[in-house]
Amino acid sequence: MRDLHKMLILVGLALAACGVYLFQDLNGSFDYALPRRGVKVFAMVLTGVAIAYATVVFQTISHNRILTPSIMGLDSLYMMLQTLLIFFLGSDHITIVNKQVNFLLSIAVMVVFALLFYQLLFKKNERPIYFLLLVGIICGTFFGSISTFLQVLIDPNEFSIIQDRMFASFNNVNEDLVWTSLVFITLLIAFAWKQNSSLDVLTLGRDTAINLGVNYDALVKQMLVLSAVLIAIATALVGPITFFGLIVANLSYQFFTSYKHSVLLTGSIVISVVALVGGQWVVERIFTFNTTLSVIINFIGGVYFIYLLLKESRSK
**Is the residue at 316 inside a domain?**
no
Structural domain contains residue 203: yes
Structural domain for 73, as ranges: 3-310
Q: Which of 291, 70, 38 is nearest to 173 (CA)?
A: 38
pLDDT at 129: 64
- Please write the tens of the pLDDT for every residue from 67-126: 788 777 888 888 999 999 999 988 888 988 888 898 889 888 988 888 887 777 666 555
- Of 28-37, 74-83, 164-173, the range with the highest mean pLDDT is 74-83
pLDDT at 218: 85
CATH number at 11 reads 1.10.3470.10
42: confidence class by pLDDT, cuts 50, 70, 90: very high
CB contact set of 37 (below 8 Å; sequence gap of 6+): 21, 22
What average pLDDT score do residues 243-257 get?
89
Q: Per the domain annotation, does 177 fall within a domain? A: yes
Instruction: Specify the pTM.
Output: 0.88
The Cα-based distances of 241 to 22, 85, 112, 217, 274 in angstroms read 23, 21, 21, 29, 16
* Percentage above 70 pLDDT, the chain: 95
The reported pLDDT for the residue numbered 124 is: 56
Q: Is residue 315 part of a domain?
A: no
Q: DSSP character for 71? A: G
Q: Cα separation of 25 and 20, whole Å?
A: 9
Look at the chain and report how many structural domains it folds into. Answer: 1
pLDDT tens per residue, range 217-233:
888 888 888 888 898 88
Average pLDDT, the chain: 86
Contacts 24+ apart (CB under 8 A), 130-136: 130/62, 132/72, 132/224, 133/62, 133/67, 133/71, 133/72, 136/71, 136/72, 136/73
Closest listed residue to residue 297, CA positions, set 245, 249, 223? 245
pLDDT in tens, 173-208: 878 889 999 999 999 999 999 899 999 998 888 888
- Assigned domain for 88 exists: yes
Q: C-alpha 47: how far from its chain's center? A: 7
Quote the pLDDT of residue 8: 93
Model pLDDT, residue 268: 94
Do residues 71 and 140 touch, judged by C-beta distance below 8 A?
yes
Q: Give the distance from CA 197 to its chain's centroid.
A: 23
Instruction: Confirm whether 294 is domain-assigned.
Output: yes
Per-residue pLDDT at 149 = 93
Question: Is residue 75 in some structural domain?
Answer: yes
Task: Tell me which of 99-103, 130-134, 263-267, 296-300 is least confident.
Answer: 130-134
